[in-house]
Each structure stands twice: as structure tokens, then as C-alpha cells.
């Protein structure tokens, strides 16, 4: 039986490409998503066409109840070697006009999602004394973008959690790292001033989902066995 990678928020964008790339690397995929059934089925077929299995797991990572209901029966028999906490979304509004729900929803998916997923799987990883947890943060955790106080707070919190968890479990050979993508050409760029942003990127282009996925590939591999508690920025050279 091959190793398993669980990728959250993986029906499209960066998450979908991470799932495809890890399948290419030989992992069977547990693909989490919340609502995009059609997109999830497409990614599943692509992974199966590449010769790996793909189990679709539809649940909201922000709900501890849903996470436990779906994951715990699976964990009785199989344990992912890699967990990629990718689920997240933006709800941009200036703080003075931000509704409590707009704040809470963004925080809940990113931070509660990280907690619910990691908390569920971590005891099994520690028992096996192996595993990788890879958290997908954002450039917004490093520099200011107006209207993203909720998103920036969530992603910055994820970086702090990454560093703390890495120290807590290093002796058990479970490695925890984070990746902060810059401006990646996905639906997450919708509504942002693209031309203005492009002028700030030294490489002169937006990133591709593959740029992030290949770093996940490395961190999920045996080549990264002496790396933990680190944050890697994939941003085309933007100084932060």
C-alpha cells in the first residue's frame, strides 16, 4: 500500500495542483473539498488516470464535528504521511466596514481548519514517528494589503502555529513547515489590481500553481528530512 497525502481545499487552484503533483510523486490522495463537486470529480479523474487512487472527502475543515465524522473512520485503517493544510479563502473588506461573520469565517477556515485537521491526524503520526505537515499561508502574512485584515491575521497566525508545532513534535520525526505563496494566477487574484501588483514583482509575472506544488513535493519527500519549523516564500522576489 502506497503512502497517502491529505490535501485540504483541493478541488481547484493551488490545492488541486498540489494533489496532482503529489499523485505524480507516488502518493495516493485524500482530497478534501467543501462545495465544488464538479471540480473535485475532475481532479479525482486526473489523479486516477495517473495511476493513483483518490478518495474525495467532502467536509468543512472549520467544523470539528464534520472533520471527525469523515476522517476518524478512515484513520482506523490508514494514516496519511503528508497533510497539506491548504483550505482558505478571502473576504476582503476594510475593517471599519467588516462584519463579524466576514472576520470569523476567514479565521475559522484557515486557523480552525489547521487545528481540526492536524489535531485529528497528529496522534497517529506521532505513534508512527513519521509524517509531514505542510501549511499553505500567504504573502499577506508578511506585508500589508488593504482590506485583508482578516485574511492577513489568519495566515500570520498559521505561521506562528507552524513554528510552535514544529518544535513540539520534532523529536517524533514529524516535520512541520509552511509555504507563503505570493500572487499566484488563480481565482484568488479576482478583485485585486493586477497591473499594479505585477509592477511590484521582480520576476515580472504572476506565479503558477505549479510553483507552489513543486515546493510541497520537496517538503513531502525524504530530501527534506532535516527541515522543520520553516516558512518558504514563493513570490517572484518580492521583498517582505
Looking at the annotation, which residues are catalytic? 151
Q: Cα(33)–Cα(144) distance, rounded to whole angstroms?
A: 29
Amino acid at each position: 500500500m502506497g503512502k497517502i497525502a491529505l490535501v485540504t481545499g483541493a478541488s481547484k487552484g493551488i490545492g488541486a495542483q498540489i494533489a496532482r503533483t503529489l499523485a505524480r510523486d507516488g502518493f495516493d490522495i485524500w482530497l478534501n473539498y467543501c462545495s465544488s463537486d464538479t471540480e473535485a470529480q475532475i481532479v479525482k479523474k486526473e489523479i486516477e488516470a495517473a495511476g493513483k487512487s483518490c478518495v474525495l472527502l467532502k467536509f468543512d475543515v472549520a467544523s470539528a464535528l464534520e472533520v471527525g465524522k469523515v476522517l476518524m473512520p478512515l484513520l482506523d485503517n490508514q494514516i496519511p504521511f503528508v497533510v497539506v493544510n491548504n483550505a482558505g479563502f478571502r473576504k476582503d473588506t476594510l475593517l471599519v466596514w467588516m462584519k463579524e461573520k466576514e472576520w470569523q469565517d476567514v479565521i475559522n477556515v484557515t486557523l480552525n481548519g489547521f487545528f481540526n485537521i492536524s489535531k485529528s491526524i497528529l496522534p497517529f503520526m506521532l505513534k508512527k514517528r513519521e509524517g509531514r505537515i505542510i501549511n499553505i499561508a500567504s504573502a499577506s502574512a508578511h506585508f500589508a494589503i488593504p482590506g485583508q485584515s482578516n485574511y492577513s491575521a489568519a495566515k500570520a497566525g498559521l505561521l506562528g502555529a507552524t513554528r510552535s508545532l514544529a518544535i513540539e513534535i520534532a523529536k517524533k520525526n514529524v516535520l512541520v513547515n509552511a509555504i507563503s505563496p505570493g500572487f499566484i494566477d488563480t481565482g484568488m487574484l479576482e478583485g485585486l489590481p493586477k497591473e499594479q501588483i505585477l509592477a511590484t514583482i521582480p520576476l515580472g509575472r504572476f506565479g503558477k500553481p505549479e510553483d507552489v506544488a513543486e515546493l510541497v513535493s520537496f517538503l513531502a519527500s525524504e530530501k527534506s528530512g532535516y527541515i522543520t519549523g520553516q516558512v518558504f516564500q514563493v513570490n517572484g522576489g518580492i521583498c517582505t
